[in-house]
Structure 1
Amino acid sequence: MHEAEELEKSEKTEAFEELRPLLFSIAYRILGGVGEAEDAVQETWLRFDASTTRPVSVKAFLSATVTRIAIDVLRSARVRREEYAGPWLPEPLLNDPYQDPARAAELADSVSMAALLLLERLSPLERSVFVLREVFAFGFDEIAEAVGRSEAACRQLLVRARRHMKDGRPRFEADRRERRELAARFFEALSLGDVDGLRSLLSADVQLVGDGGGKAPQLARTVVGAEHVARLLATAYPLMARIDITFEEHEVNGQPGAVFRDRDGRVLHTLALDVLDGRVQAVRSVINPDKLGHLGPVADAWAVDREAKRHRRRPQ
């Protein structure tokens, strides 16, 4: 490889790595999967590396490329999700690599499970236009290039996307400290098996949703109502503690949550809380092992379940 070619390769690599966090964040919001987003980013690099022309704007070129790849992946993924066993939730994301301190809260809300589930209502093109415009503030000329439509068509796609998102769009608390404090009380009550304490923190129509994908046992697919959710959680988690299941509080998809681990430190599941008006509106648990591998070694949920059942009738 000639010196000039080596320099060009180095410049390409540096430019790509600088934009990698943005590319991943775009792809994850379009796809709702960490592995799929990482694959889309890697494919973007391969196309960029193979390109013989130098784009006027590297950011625009890479953003357009990762968006087009993500749209193609999403079209095939939607068929799989329609056949998914039980409720489908996005793969949990503990840290969004795209850092913008001025918009930290807004970016966190856009990656919440509630927001990503709403995005599932949109067509791949609507979803991509919405993400590029509403989350990352791309110009319509850049969006048109990315999705292969005219600017006028992109504006219409955005109108439709906003209409679909409007009614159910999550409204999270502006005070993140208040959110964290409520989450701390929730997890304290959870660890104590305090039914009354949990009930006092839950909205009347709270939902507990579990995503096992048919590949792991779970408390329940969907439970609705403060009384039912509080009693289920207060019964389950003290039992888990008896077999050395521990948890660490951690933001999950930009919202209060926790990561649960077995006695060997392997990831069992994540829990994410939607908080509004001083109450927990939804509790979402991802225990499907296929969605946890990016967080580290994954626990054998079936083995944990068997051990929990053996302990259930034993005296404490």
Structure 2
Amino acid sequence: MTRAEEFEQLRPLLFSIAYRILGSVSEAEDAVQETWLRLEAAPAPPRSTRAYLSAVVTRVSIDVLRSARVRREEYVGPWFPEPLLTDPYQDPERSAELADSLSMAALLLLERLSPLERAVFVLREVFGFGFPEIASAVGRSEAACRQLAVRARRHMDAGRPRFEADRKEREELAERFFDAFREGDVDGLRELLAGDVRMVGDGGGKAPQWAKDIVGAENVARLLAAIVSPLVKIGIAVEPQQVNGQPGAIIRDRDGKVVNTLALDILDGRIQTIRSVINPDKLRHVGPVADAWAVMREANQSRRPQIDRTR
């Protein structure tokens, strides 16, 4: 097998490692490409291609994350990971860990860790790497890596998100939610929301977004019902879709361009959190992106009574 063939075989794993460390599809893809360049430039084939590439993509991702931290501190409004529709890496033996680590809530929790803690946690807890491999990847001793893993696990366990275990139940609830949303059914929405539900948006200052979190079932239900009617009038479509392994949707304009994504956290038969990503820079990998400002203007225009100019 050639180097290129081995690399392509391992690409899904490398992307999945990088995405969980970085929370960015575009940065993860860049990290994987840099990893290929380093493999291509290596004078001799590595003893274990998987171990070598996993170590390289981890080190590249740590470096990128350190510089990204500064940009995220200056980010306008809440920062969310770039939505991921499909995880390219599948491992039946670690399917639970892979799914849990992909959610928006888990990735936001990972943001609280240092870059080294985050990398060690991802390699150990999500992908099941041994400490000798992890030590080689992050350039620390095995003992230091074990300490990093303990600290990271403690932080993650303290705030670890819990979700409805039954995937079918989650999907059925999400289907009812999006049906009620399309219809602007306040009562139907309210009964599906937790009493203290939060609706949070990431516009990054580059798209229209509510000024602060919307909290409470009544407030969220009424806001959703109020915004959907003018959106439906101008041809907006709600496309149910798994977003970061959780029930969600892609909102598209009449031309099929992406306006935003929604991801739902579901627990105890109720929606706990609704996260919207509308920053166009975070949606380009999903498909052609709509001009959200233009969509909002058209939706607002549709609210106004039309004047009969034939009289």
> Which interval holds the TM-score relative to the shorter structure?
over 0.9
Q: For 2:46 and 2:164, locate their aligned partners in 1 and report how far apart those are by CA, in whole Å.
A: 41
- Identify which of 130, 147, 154 aligns with 1:139: 130
Q: For 1:135 and 1:178, locate their aligned partners in 2 and report how far apart those are by CA, in whole Å.
A: 25
TM-score, with structure 1 as normaliser: 0.95
- Who is 2:98 aligned against? 107
- Who is 2:9 aligned against? 18
Q: For 1:184 and 1:291, locate their aligned partners in 2 and report how far apart those are by CA, in whole Å.
A: 25
Alignment of 1:54-203 (within 5 A): 54-203=45-194
SS of residue in 2 equivalent to 1:154: helix
- Who is 1:311 aligned against? 302
Do the aligned residues in 2 keep the contact of 1:209 with 1:220 (CA within 8 Å)? no
Q: For 2:212 and 2:57, locate their aligned partners in 1 and report how far apart those are by CA, in whole Å.
A: 33
- Who is 1:240 aligned against? 231
Q: For 1:101 and 1:190, locate their aligned partners in 2 and report how far apart those are by CA, in whole Å.
A: 35
Q: For 2:188 and 2:95, locate their aligned partners in 1 and report how far apart those are by CA, in whole Å.
A: 31
Q: For 2:158 and 2:214, locate their aligned partners in 1 and report how far apart those are by CA, in whole Å.
A: 23
SS of residue in 2 equivalent to 1:183: helix
Instruction: Work out the percentage of aligned pairs sharing the same amino acid.
Output: 73
Q: For 1:281 and 1:269, locate their aligned partners in 2 and report how far apart those are by CA, in whole Å.
A: 19
Q: For 2:225 and 2:237, locate their aligned partners in 1 and report how far apart those are by CA, in whole Å.
A: 15
TM-score, with structure 2 as normaliser: 0.96
Residue 257 (1) aligns with residue 241 (2): no
SS of residue in 2 equivalent to 1:256: strand
Do the aligned residues in 2 keep the contact of 1:211 with 1:221 (CA within 8 Å)? no
Do the aligned residues in 1 keep the contact of 2:251 with 2:261 (CA within 8 Å)? yes
Q: For 1:279 and 1:185, locate their aligned partners in 2 and report how far apart those are by CA, in whole Å.
A: 11
Q: Which 4+ stretches in 1 moved above 6 angstroms? A: none
Do the aligned residues in 1 keep the contact of 2:235 with 2:254 (CA within 8 Å)? yes
CA RMSD of aligned residues (A): 1.1
Aligned residue pair count: 306
- Who is 2:309 aligned against? none
Do the aligned residues in 2 keep the contact of 1:87 with 1:221 (CA within 8 Å)? no
Q: Which blocks of at least 5 consecutive residues in structure 2 are unaligned?
A: 307-311
Q: For 1:62 and 1:314, locate their aligned partners in 2 and report how far apart those are by CA, in whole Å.
A: 61
Q: Which blocks of at least 5 consecutive residues in structure 1 are unaligned?
A: 1-9
- 1:103 deviates by 3.5
Write the letter of the residue equivalent to 1:262: D
Q: For 2:259 and 2:45, locate their aligned partners in 1 and report how far apart those are by CA, in whole Å.
A: 46
Q: For 1:263 and 1:115, locate their aligned partners in 2 and report how far apart those are by CA, in whole Å.
A: 33
Q: For 1:101 and 1:186, locate their aligned partners in 2 and report how far apart those are by CA, in whole Å.
A: 30
Q: For 1:101 and 1:236, locate their aligned partners in 2 and report how far apart those are by CA, in whole Å.
A: 41
Q: For 1:139 and 1:103, locate their aligned partners in 2 and report how far apart those are by CA, in whole Å.
A: 14
Q: For 1:258 and 1:220, locate their aligned partners in 2 and report how far apart those are by CA, in whole Å.
A: 22
- 1:220 deviates by 4.5
Q: For 2:188 and 2:97, locate their aligned partners in 1 and report how far apart those are by CA, in whole Å.
A: 30
- 1:247 deviates by 1.5
